[in-house]
Amino acid sequence: MTPLPTWFANNLGAAFARGQICLLYCHPTQISDGDLELCHSQLTDEERSRAMKFRYYADYVSYIVAHALLRQSVSAIAGVTPDCVKIRRAQNGKPELLQDSVTTPIRFNLSHTEDMVMVALARDVEVGVDVERLDRKFAPEIVEYLCSAEEAQEISLLSTQHQSVAYIELWTLKEALVKASGQGLRVRINEIYCALNLPRLLRSGPLPERPTAWSVWRGHLAGGFAWSVAARTPQAELTLIGAFAS
Ligand SMILES: CC(C)(COP(=O)(O)OP(=O)(O)OC[C@H]1O[C@@H](n2cnc3c(N)ncnc32)[C@H](O)[C@@H]1OP(=O)(O)O)[C@@H](O)C(=O)NCCC(=O)NCCS
């Protein structure tokens, strides 16, 4: 992955300027060795040493591509070089931009899994993203951890095949919400209630603010992935931009 192609950077810059939530995606396995090396060179020493801690090569590659894509995207929006982008962890653990490195109020979040990387970017709006493989298997105990009583009841009426898709979609939606809020999976996600058919929040549980203060989106991507995005704003549009590889 060379620094973002011009068409990609232009689309991203225009959508961001219109106030849209920008969701970027990329398949890390499609990246050449040369471009992976370039991505690696754009990371900080700390990011490089975190990358080395992954046990599986696919996770190592996804991590590197996710963080390089983030740096390249911020660089395209803010007009700084990728290595100037400084990131720190907020008290709750959520990564955020250091505003002395970039003056544009960019909020971001990223998610990486085997062979899929997603980065969400928004202007001054807290955002969260999660992507999971649709064939991910959940242990039966997860139902209690994940689902509100209403969701568990609604999912129990579906066929077995539709149930497993509904669990993944719900998982990504709730994880995107708790990543947008910065709380992460420390909070009781079964107190959150989401509509199954529409991506809509009906009860916010441990999340700050009422359900109407949040916007959520979800979808599937070729290759067997489910994704969700959540933003702490009552109204917004989402633009999906991807996939690129050399
Ligand atoms: C943050 C969390 C939701 C990530 O879940 P995940 O499915 O493993 O990973 P994803 O790829 O979707 O997202 C990881 C990215 O989320 C971001 N992230 C980390 N903490 C975050 C937080 N509190 N809020 C929002 N985003 C966060 C990071 O960018 C991270 O990627 P990085 O480590 O490469 O920088 C989860 O690890 C968590 O809640 N951690 C904090 C609480 C905890 O440790 N609980 C024990 C596990 S149940």
Q: Please write the tens of the pLDDT for every residue from 147-198.
A: 999 999 999 999 998 999 999 999 999 999 999 999 999 999 999 999 998 8
pLDDT of 237 reads 98
Residue 95 makes CB contacts below 8 A (sequence gap 6+) with 87, 88, 89, 108, 109, 110
**Å from CA of 112 to ligand 1 middle:** 10
> Domain 6-241, what architecture?
Alpha-Beta Complex (3.90)
Q: What was the pLDDT predicted at 246?
A: 44
Cα 50 to ligand 1 centroid, rounded to whole Å:
14
| Binding site membership of 182 for ligand 1 (Cβ less than 6 Å) | yes
**Ligand 1: does its nearest atom lie under 6 Å from the Cβ of 94?**
yes
pLDDT surpasses 50 at 50: yes
What pLDDT score does 2 carry? 60
pLDDT tens figures, 55-83: 999 999 999 999 999 999 999 999 998 88
Whether the per-residue pLDDT at 245 is higher than 70: the answer is no
Helix, strand, coil percentages for the chain (3-state, nearest 5): 40, 25, 35
Q: CA dihedral defined by 64, 66, 71, 75, rounded to 10 degrees?
A: 130
Do 231 and 122 touch, CB atoms closer than 8 A? yes
**Nearest Cα to 171, choosing from 156, 185, 154?**
185
pLDDT band at residue 9, thresholds of 50, 70 and 90?
confident
Q: What is the pLDDT of residues 97-150, one digit of tens each?
A: 998 888 899 999 999 998 899 999 999 999 999 999 999 888 888 889 999 999
Distance (Å, rounded) from C-alpha 144 to C-alpha 185? 14
174 lines ligand 1 (CB under 6 A): no
Q: Which residue owns the Cα nearest ligand 1 atom 3?
A: 184
